[in-house]
Amino acid sequence: MPLLEPKSGTLRPHAADAVPAPDRVPGERAAGTDDELRRGLEALLGAGKVLWKISDLVRYASDASPYRFVPRAVVLAEDVTDVSLVLSYALRHGRQIVFRAAGTSLNGQAQGEDILVDVRRHWSGIEVLGRGERARIAPGTTVVRANAGLARYGRVLGPDPASAIACTVGGVVANNASGMTAGTTRNSYRTVASLTFVLPSGTVVDTADPEADARLAAAEPELCAGLLALRAEIEADRELTARIRAKYQLKNTNGYRLDAFLDGTTPVEILRGLMVGSEGTFGFISEIVFDTLPLHRRTSSALLFFPSLSAAAAAVPLFNEAGALAVELMDGNTLRASVSVQGVPADWADLPKETAALLVEFRAPDEAAQEAYEDAAARVLERLDLVAPVASADNAFTRDPGTIAGYWKARKAFVTAVGGARPPGTTLITEDFAVPPARLAEACEALLTLQAEHGFDAAVAGHAAHGNLHFLLAFDAAKPADVERYASFMDAFCRLTVERFDGSLKAEHATGRNIAPFLELEWGPRATELMWRTKQVIDPAGVLAPRVVLDRDPEAHLRGLKTIPRIEAVADPCIECGFCEPTCPSGDLTTTPRQRIVLRREMMRQAPESPVTDSLLDSYGYDAVDTCAGDSTCKLACPVGIDTGAMMKDFRHRRHSPREERAASLLAERFALVERAARLAVAAADRTGDRVPAALTAAARRAVSGELVPEWLPAVPGAAARKLPVTDRRGAAAVYFPACVNRIFGGPDGHEGPSLPEAVVAVSARAGRPVWIPGDVAGTCCSTIWHSKGYDRGNTVMANRMVEAAWGWTEGGALPLVVDASSCTLGIAREVVPYLTEENQRLHAELTVLDSVVWAAEELLPGLSVERTVGSAVLHPTCSMRHLGDEEQLRTVAEACAEEVVVPEDAGCCAFAGDRGMLHRELTESATAREAAEVGAREFDAHLSANRMCEIGMDHATGRGYRSVLLELERATRPR
């Protein structure tokens, strides 16, 4: 099925919806980066490393914070040389630079108003050193990815922020982010062994180099002298020294780490400490070597409910004394908002507002230690007054991994779940602070009272074991009265935290922009002056991240607050947290789900007939709509399930004319003819070789459109057999539906043996679970072809035909329907439902739709005898499997066929997405780059998956022959 020609006008906001916002991008910036800056950067770095369109600048203007600053240019730095070059350029031309990685920071420290340098895209990788005791990590690597590489060694990083799925290691170090278990002993400051960084001057320092101090002294004598002078001054002031030490007994990321001057004796040692938590204001961290920690895999967890927040807070010290690694607090508002998170019990919505909960976790290296922790926890529970859902000690703690994962999913979704439930059109502020743990209950009550006084509906959660609380506020940044109310609250909150509790105004989220005006309130004039002088010594020209950490404007935290205009309902709850970005196939090519939403919101900020909107729409067709794979894995990563892929499919639908919709519907009605013609075309191409079809499709793409005509790829396989295997309905254990892709395309080049349908039939019979292929499957389809491209009429025709046919084949649902392509399984099982008639929805509810991999793992393997195996197999789990939860079954089948089974740590959606990889081969090439590199780093005996088009995509990406795991299972169990 073809895509549409881009018709950007159909996505233009209606005049009634486009209400000019105070923070809209001004019309004079519609052309993007000014010519002088663009030419200068391109001459220095190359055109491919400079993003200049207004759509590029806008998509980088928002992050997880409440702030929004539009850069003048975006640089995609590929290596340290690029960073040094752009720093030198900034020094020569009086420009300023901000570094940005994942954009998950909550205080605006990843945003800039001049040159923004992207240090995520080209900065991923981990090298495990020794037996895992250390790891060298590139700064653009996510925490989850780094820990995946360490897990096989039984090691883990100390910092464990809730945003680990998306935040990068470089950002974690730059903010000294900690998380649920890190406290003050496992954070970056305490666990970083060495750093490599680029100073504002362009000088590169590797703190692990024995000659680092000598090299730095030769390159930067004034810097070295200045640091040593500051150190001597601090050490001479006993009162200040004592104050600094006391401040870091609590979690504290407000301001610069002045204890670096006390912990380091040389300029390089001092810089190593100062760089941690410096938020990109001292230099760019290009490499981190961490001292890792033991990964204690034996876990016991409980989610305990209390009648009040103060009762929950009072229990925290008891669990700390019992040895709990994590004690996480959630108040009633947080618990009720969490029902939007998949898997959270719906009855949480009915919990009394006063209810609070603690998530308590113990981690042990062995059974004996685990039992000891559980005994200690049981003694604590006897002293507590718990309420439902967990009201007794007997059923409190669990070792079940699935249950524990559900607890943590609810806890980690705090910001996104509560933020997603905020009033539409409001900006979300996320704050964190720390008080002495013994005063946690008092601080909770004081915070709730203060919020109520200022008209905010509180939501509180946090790392209670460390006295670290988080809270959220929502207000309309477009309304001056709301901004005033927020400002009044912040003044009162900061005074309360400092004057009543002597607490930390930022415990782990770093100073950023919103606490910078309150730095002196916490630290006093003497320490604050030393921080300003430190900045002057390291960055005398003020090149890096101005107004981050240090800002003397008392209203700096009110500058740049972003409005949140209403957009399409499916995406309107988005708080722009960025959790979706690592999973997005197009993230390194065009835009991510968050950026698609950010760009849409900017369109809504603009006045009707805005030149900025015109420019955004000119880019949005390709950058957002056409290069979205539509795999909806963003929905899985988003804690509140926002499906940006669905929004892009709707946009594709909007671009269709009634005539195009009718044509798509006609193709659905006559799909048997379409299917036959497609198979014949593939067969003809198979006979003539790739050259002829490649030339014909290339000519058609030039004459018509690259968005309408797929490109012929060398990896496209030959045609499927003309006829499907003959099967018998009598005695069948299941109905087997060969997907249309497997009725059109054959197996991979060089494959010897049965076709996939023949293999499924044979292996099912061998296991004593024979299947039956209906004689009239031709012309039926899962309807994904139409669904993915937004052809609603064709989708409706095929969806209803498919369900009606399946109802008859399965004798009203008496037999399961086994489908041999995971995307088609997902389509029939779930995606067709909204397009069914009411009667067919009732029929669909009676059907059991099974993926062939699940059928093989659960129904066939117990009855099969493995006769031969291969040495090694690499798996490509498809995005449909992630949606269906079938990845473990894929591994189970593969492990029956191979002695070693590997799932690449960088495995993700291949973005082939039916024919999208043939319309935009660059999308698949970008999406699979990291996985392909991992696969290509060694030899495997088999390359396996469970979806023919994904296998074609991986063939193209890797040059290896991917095939269905069911083909391998048939070979492994074939009688000798």
643-670 per-position pLDDT tens digit: 999 999 999 999 888 888 898 899 999 9
DSSP single-letter state for residue 861: G
Fold for 866-973, please state it.
Answer: Rossmann fold (3.40.50)
pLDDT score of 89: 98
Q: Determine the pLDDT at residue 236.
A: 98
- Quick one: pLDDT at residue 3? 38
pLDDT at 393: 52
| Contact by Cβ (8 Å): 273, 263 | yes
Residue range 338-347: mean pLDDT, rounded: 81
For 172-187, what is the mean pLDDT? 93
Tell me the HSE value of 439 on the side-chain side, using a 13 A CA sphere. 13
Q: If we measure between CA atoms, which residue out of 491, 486, 453 comes closest to residue 472?
A: 486
Parallel, antiparallel or unpaired: strands 734-737 and 771-772: parallel
Can you give the three-state secondary structure of 773-801, one letter per residue?
A: CCCCCCCCCCCHHHHCCCCHHHHHHHHHH
**Domain range summary for the chain, segments of one domain joined by +:** 298-508, 669-858, 866-973
Cβ neighbors of 76 (< 8 A, separation 6 or more) are 48, 49, 50, 51, 118, 121, 122
Mean pLDDT in residue range 258-262 = 98
Q: Which of 204, 233, 285, 263 is nearest to 533 (CA)?
A: 233
CATH architecture of the region 298-508: 3-Layer(aba) Sandwich (3.40)
Distance between CA atoms of residues 595 and 55, nearest Å: 10
Check residue 697 and give its pLDDT: 63
- Whether 269 shows a pLDDT value over 90: the answer reads yes
Token pair belonging to 355 = 């209810």
State the pTM of this model. 0.94
222 alpha carbon, distance to own chain's centre: 42
H/E run at residue 535 = helix 519-538
Nearest to 312 by CA among 397, 386, 377: 386
The yes-or-no verdict on residue 121 having pLDDT over 50 is yes
% of the chain surpassing 90 pLDDT: 80
pLDDT surpassing 80 at residue 961: yes
Average pLDDT over residues 325-339: 88
Asked whether this chain's domains 298-508 and 866-973 adopt the same fold, the reply is no
Give, as one character, the DSSP assignment of residue 831.
Answer: I
Question: 422: pLDDT confidence band, cut at 50, 70 and 90?
Answer: confident
Q: How confident is the model at residue 890 (pLDDT cuts 50, 70, 90)?
A: very high
The DSSP H or E segment spanning 414 is: helix 414-420
Confidence of residue 253 (pLDDT cuts 50, 70, 90): very high
Tokens of 637: 């990563």
Rounded mean pLDDT, 467-473: 91
- 713 SS3 class: coil
The whole-angstrom separation of Cα 434 and Cα 719 is 65
Phi, psi of 92 (to 5 degrees): -70, -35
Residue 698 pLDDT class (50, 70, 90 cuts): low
Residues 498, 505: contact at Cβ < 8 Å? yes
Kindly give, in sequence order, each residue whose CB lies less than 8 Å from that of residue 815, ignoring residues fewer than 6 positions away.
732, 733, 734, 735, 809, 848
pLDDT score for 747: 82
User: pLDDT tens, 188-229?
Assistant: 999 999 999 999 999 999 999 999 999 999 999 999 999 999
Residue 299 parent element (H or E): strand 298-306
Which position has the higher pLDDT, 856 or 411?
A: 856
Q: Rounded mean pLDDT of 268-275? A: 98
- Return the percent helix, strand and coil in the chain, to nearest 5: 45, 15, 40
Q: What are 229-246's pLDDT values in tens digits?
A: 999 999 999 999 999 999
pLDDT of residue 645: 97
Helix (H, G, I), strand (E, B) or coil at 300: strand
Which residues 6+ apart lie within 8 Å of 238 measured at CB? none
Q: Does the pLDDT of residue 1 top 90, yes or no?
A: no
Return the pLDDT at 146: 98
Please give the share of the chain, as a percent, with pLDDT higher than 70: 95
Q: Is 236 exposed, middle or buried (0-12, 13-18, 19+ CB in 10 A)?
A: exposed
Count the helices and strands in the chain (H runs, E runs): 41, 25
Query: Whole-angstrom Cα distance, residue 758 to residue 121?
Result: 43
Confidence of residue 5 (pLDDT cuts 50, 70, 90): very low
What is the rounded distance in angstroms from the CA atom of residue 285 to the CA atom of residue 630?
35
Question: Omega into 13 within 30° of 0, i.e. cis?
Answer: no
Whether the pLDDT of residue 884 is over 60: the answer is yes
Residue 675, pLDDT above cutoff 80: yes
Identify any residues that bridge with 117 across adjacent strands, giving them in sequence order: 75, 99
Q: Which helix (DSSP H) or strand (DSSP E) does residue 293 occupy?
A: strand 293-294
φ/ψ bin of 925: left (φ > 0), alpha (ψ from -120 to 50), beta (otherwise): alpha
Helix, strand or coil for residue 144?
Answer: helix
- Single-letter amino acid, residue 548: V
Task: Say how far apart CA 381 and CA 302 lie, in whole Å.
Answer: 11
**Strand duo 298-306 + 356-364: pairing:** antiparallel
**Residues 6 or more apart from 514 whose CB is under 8 A from it?**
65, 66, 67, 107, 108, 429, 431, 490, 557
Q: Is 295 helix (H, G, I), strand (E, B) or coil?
A: coil
Q: Which helix (H) or strand (E) holds 772?
A: strand 771-772
Has residue 691 got a pLDDT over 80? no
Q: How far is it, in rounded angstroms, from Cα 78 to Cα 89?
A: 16
Please answer whether residues 832 and 844 qualify as being in contact, where contact means their C-beta atoms are separated by less than 8 angstroms: yes
